[in-house]
Amino acid sequence: MKTIDKAYHGKSRSNRQKKYYSVANAAECVGELSHGCEKFGLTQGQFSFFDILETILNVSGPANVVIATWTAAGAETARAKEFLKNGAISSIKWIVDRSFASRQPEYCQILVDNFGDCIRTIRTHAKFLLIYNDEWNFVIRTSMNLNSNPRIENFEISEDKDFCNYLLKFVDEVFEKHSMSDNFNNSAEICRFPGFDDHEAITSAKPAAENQSSYTFNMLDIKQKTAMEDLEIKRLKKENEYIKLQKLKKTLLPINDVIKQLETLKQYLCNDCLEIIQKIINNINLSN
C-alpha cells in the first residue's frame, strides 16, 4: 500500500500570474509557459478545458495525459482520441464520476468506445489535468468539465514535478483499486484512499491486509452511528420539553384557587364588574 500525504505542500505561489480575459482565446489567456510557472485565470467561457490542454501540448510536445472530470462532451472526447492517434498525446487515463452513464448515456458511450480500458470511475467531482513527459510536469486545476463552458470558469496551471507526482500517486491508487469491470457501476464497492481521507497516512509496518482493514470505509458503521446520534437528540428534546412543562405547571394555580380568588374580589367590585367576574367563573365551571 502506498503512503500518500494528505495534501500537497509545495513551493510558494508568490510568483503566480493572475489573468482575466473575456474575449481572448486559450493561448492568449494562458500566455507564456515556463518551468516552475504558476498561473491563475478567469474566463467568460470563451474556451474550454480541452483548449487549455491543447495550448499546453503545443509547448510540451507529446506527453502523457490524465483527465479527471465529472462529465465529458462527445466533441471533446473525439478530439482527445484524435490527439492520441496523431501522437500529440502519448498515453491517456481518465477518472470520471460513476453517475456519468446515467446522466448522459450517449456521451458516456462515446467515451467508453474510444477509451474503455483507460477509464476508471469513482464517486468524484474533482476536475484536474496532468500533462507530463521527461521535460515538463503540468498540473491544471479548474472548475471546468470537459465540455463547452459558456460561463465564468477558473483555472490554475502549475509546472511542478512534485505536485504532478503527488496527483499521479492518487491516479495510480484509483487504477489499482478499481477494475474496468466496475466502471459506471454505482453499486460497486467504494474504496478508501489512505492519505486522501480523514485519517493519517499509513506509515506503520503492519501487514497490508491489517492496514487496509483498519482504514476501510465502513458505511454501515457511519449510518449506525448517525442513527444513534439522531435518537439521542430526539430523547434530549423530549426530556427538555417535559422539564419545561413541569416548570409551567408549577407556575399555574389550581382552578379552585382561581375561583376562590375571583369570589373574594366580588365584594369590592361594581355591578358591571361583578357581572363580568361571574361570567368568568361560570365559564371556568363549564370547562371543568
What is the tens place of the pLDDT at every residue in 164-220? 999 999 999 999 888 888 788 776 676 666 555 544 443 444 454 444 444 444 556
Q: Residues 226-230: what's their mean pLDDT?
A: 75
Provide the angle, in degrees to the nearest 10, between the axes of the packed helices 271-287 and 255-265. Answer: 170
Question: Could you tell me which of 164, 156, 143, 141 has the C-alpha nearest to residue 63?
Answer: 164
Domain positions in the chain: 17-217, 253-287
6 phi-psi bin (left φ>0, alpha ψ -120 to 50, beta other): alpha
> Which contacts (CB < 8 Å, 24+ apart) does range 268-274 have?
none
Residue 134 clears pLDDT 50, i.e. is over it: yes
The DSSP call for residue 269 is S
CATH class, domain 17-217, is alpha beta
User: What pLDDT does residue 14 have?
Assistant: 64
pLDDT class of 244 with cuts at 50, 70, 90: confident
Q: How do residues 16-32 score in pLDDT, each as one tens digit? A: 776 565 556 888 888 89
User: What pLDDT does residue 155 have?
Assistant: 92
The verdict on pTM exceeding 0.75 is: no
